[in-house]
Amino acid sequence: MKKGRILTGDRPTGKLHLGHYVGSLENRVRLQDEYDPFIIIADVQALTTNFEKPEALKRDVHQVAEDYLAVGLDPEKATIFVQSLVPEIAELTIFYSMFITVNVLRHNPTIKTEAKQYGYQDMTYGFLGYPVSQAADITFCKANLVPVGADQVPHIEFARKIVRRFNELYKPVLVEPEALVGEVGRLVGTDGNAKMSKSLGNCIYLCDEPKEVEQKICAAITDPARMRRDDLGHPDVCTVYAYHKVFNPGFVEELRPQCETAGIGCVDCKKRLTAEINALLEPMHERRAKYVAKPKLVDEILIAGTERARAAARETMAQVREAMQIDYF
């Protein structure tokens, strides 16, 4: 017996990176035997900010699917699908939007932060409403667990509120989801910025070749007070140390005193980290090669996954319509 259903996913806006891996992908792969995972490639949500450049979507949907398969999501176990191809999600979004007020959305902390980040004076209806659409993503398949990065938690809270409201207004047909945040929470960027993010150009991508990883770590910010080999280090302000904690945890106990006494130099410390990260990425490269050689295979996986998602969606929609008394004939 499976423990329940997972729903989670990403906006297709480019290559996935190590921040995605520790925040959510690792949990998805780990849980795919115990749970029944639904993984959404949220192309409509990507349009909330990228509606002017839809030409990137086709490539990015494919890229994200390939990253999922490379990381070890097994298409036999995980239902990987495309949001826009499940029209029931759009339908559910409309129904939810009848009882969600504009002010609640305006005060959503993630919407506020992102609107500021994008410099929106005004914002589109779709952007303001994307938490509603995300609640539809989560609930159409009655997911009970949502593995996500820390920044997504307000959206899961919001989905829970929608479920409670719907169940109390109509009939208890929807399931309240719970967020599962990766242990690491948020991964720092190679430039020392608090967040690894494509727009900041501080990412190590899952598809980066060993040489690229080496170069990026070589250029990563360390302790700014440690200019020379024999200066004493301060691991708590060092990006490379932060990465060792995540990707090489067995080494940190030994590393800390060595760094603090200048026993180890930054170059050696970076070499150790590079080896660890490349070892993590190596099996991903191997899996990816199989799909790069057969791009049609990725399409077939998405088509089959979307079929499965729609079957679940149709079931839920029949119950939703009945609960809302819009099952006329």
Applying CB under 6 A, the site for ligand TRP has a residue count of 14
What is the contact mask toward ligand TRP in residues 181 to 210, using x (rule: CB under 6 A)? Answer: ------------------------------
Residues 6+ apart with CB under 8 A from 319: 171, 173
| Ordered strands of the 36-41 beta sheet | 79-82, 36-41, 5-10, 145-148, 178-181
Contact with ligand TRP (CB under 6 A) among 6, 18, 29, 40: 40
Residue 10 contacts by C-beta under 8 Å, 6 or more apart in sequence? 16, 20, 41, 42, 64
Pair of tokens at residue 116: 């500021």
Is position 63 an interface residue for ligand TRP (rule: CB under 6 A)? no
Give the whole-angstrom CA distance, residue 69 versus residue 297: 11
Comparing CB distances to ligand TRP, the nearer of 82 and 255 is: 82
Q: Give least dist CB 79 to ligand TRP, A.
A: 13
- Closest to ligand TRP by CB, 19 vs 233, is 19
**Least distance between ligand TRP and beta carbon 199 (Å):** 13
The SS3 assignment for 139 reads helix
CA distances from 265 to 217, 239, 241, 250, 312 (A): 14, 14, 12, 18, 55
Question: Closest residue (Cβ) to ligand TRP?
Answer: 42
Nearer to ligand TRP, 38 or 247 (CB): 38
Taking residues 251 to 270 in sequence order and writing x for each that binds ligand TRP by CB under 6 A, - otherwise, the string is --------------------
Q: What angle do CA 197, 77, 74 make, to 5 degrees?
A: 50
Q: Which of 69, 148, 277, 309 binds ligand TRP (CB under 6 A)?
A: 148
* Three-point CA angle 21, 65, 175, nearest 5°: 75
Q: Which stretch binds ligand TRP (CB under 6 A): 2-10, 115-123, 227-235, 295-303?
A: 2-10
Binding site for ligand TRP (CB under 6 A): 7-11, 40, 42, 45, 134, 137-138, 146, 148, 152
